[in-house]
């Protein structure tokens, strides 16, 4: 599961290091000045450099921070579910304390990049790479939307209860709806490409 790939991400969405609020902002939108209709394999050297510069800007912005915050909190809440399973009858206050400890552990390591881009490697892609610039933009934005929804629906450590854990992990609940990654046609198209990767796939 993609959630597991984020274990250890630093929670950059909260300046004071706690798990922050529930979010609620619209998904961050990634955009590039490079024409979306161009296949990645047809990018000129200057276009590939510009495209990767735009991706790097995204990595320094809200998309990266939201993704780290969302997955960190979800991992901490998942650990709290395990803690409750090992300690049935634990009070809500103790669950909140345990969740906070788990989240601090998540925050102790830097967060991997949500996407990576290398203009020199893009040029080495084989004919199997049929993705366009627009496919990459779409895939990045689809994953950004999932991360925002995960952040919006994951309970904060300071409000967690046994009841909220049950609802969150129920079949068809928020955890199972938003903790994965997009596997749309656009994301699938990126997988065979060199030099570009998102949380859905690709080769950096």
> What are the residue boundaries of the structural domains of the chain, listed by start?
2-7+37-203
CB 93 within 8 Å of CB 100: no
Question: Mean of the per-residue pLDDT values for the chain?
Answer: 85
Which three-class secondary structure state does DSSP give residue 194? strand
Average confidence (pLDDT) over 123-145: 94
> What span, in angstroms and rounded, lies between the C-alpha atoms of 194 and 88?
48
pLDDT of residue 19 exceeding 50? no
Quick: pLDDT tens for 50-83: 999 999 888 778 888 888 999 899 999 999 999 9
Residue 15's pLDDT band, with cuts at 50, 70 and 90, is very low
Query: pTM of the prediction?
Result: 0.82
Mapped onto helix, strand or coil, the DSSP state of residue 17 is coil
With bands split at pLDDT 50, 70 and 90, how would you rate the model's confidence at 2? very low
> Which residues on neighbouring strands pair with residue 194, listed in sequence order?
203
Q: Which of 60-74, 95-109, 177-191 has the lowest mean pLDDT?
A: 60-74
Is 84:94 a contact under the CB 8 Å cutoff? no
pLDDT at residue 23 tops 60: no
Record the tokens describing residue 149, joined without a space: 């929804």
Higher pLDDT, 20 or 145: 145
Per-residue model confidence (pLDDT) at position 28? 64
- What sign does the dihedral 68-70-75-80 (CA atoms) show? positive
Per-residue pLDDT, averaged over 174-193, amounts to 93
Distance CA 64, CA 158 (A): 23
Exposed/middle/buried for residue 128 (C-beta within 10 Å: 0-12, 13-18, 19+): exposed
**For position 8, what pLDDT does the model report?**
37
């Amino acid at each position: 599961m993609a959630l597991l790939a984020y274990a250890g991400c630093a929670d950059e969405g909260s300046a004071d290091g706690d798990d922050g609020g529930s979010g609620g902002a619209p998904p961050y939108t990634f955009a590039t000045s490079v024409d979306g209709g161009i296949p990645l394999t047809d990018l000129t050297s200057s276009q590939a450099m510009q495209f990767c510069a735009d991706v790097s800007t995204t990595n320094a912005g809200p998309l990266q921070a939201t993704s780290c915050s969302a997955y960190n909190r979800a991992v901490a809440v998942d650990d709290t579910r395990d803690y409750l399973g090992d300690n049935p009858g634990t009070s809500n206050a103790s669950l909140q304390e345990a969740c906070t400890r788990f989240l601090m552990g998540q925050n102790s390591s830097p967060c991997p990049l949500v996407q990576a881009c290398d203009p020199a490697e893009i040029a080495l892609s084989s004919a199997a790479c049929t993705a366009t610039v627009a496919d990459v933009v779409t895939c990045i934005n689809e994953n950004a939307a999932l991360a925002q929804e995960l952040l919006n629906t994951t309970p904060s450590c300071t409000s967690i209860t046994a009841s909220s854990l049950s609802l969150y992990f129920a079949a068809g609940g928020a955890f199972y709806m938003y903790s994965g990654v997009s596997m749309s046609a656009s994301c699938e198209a990126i997988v065979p490409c060199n030099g570009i990767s998102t949380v859905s796939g690709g080769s950096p």
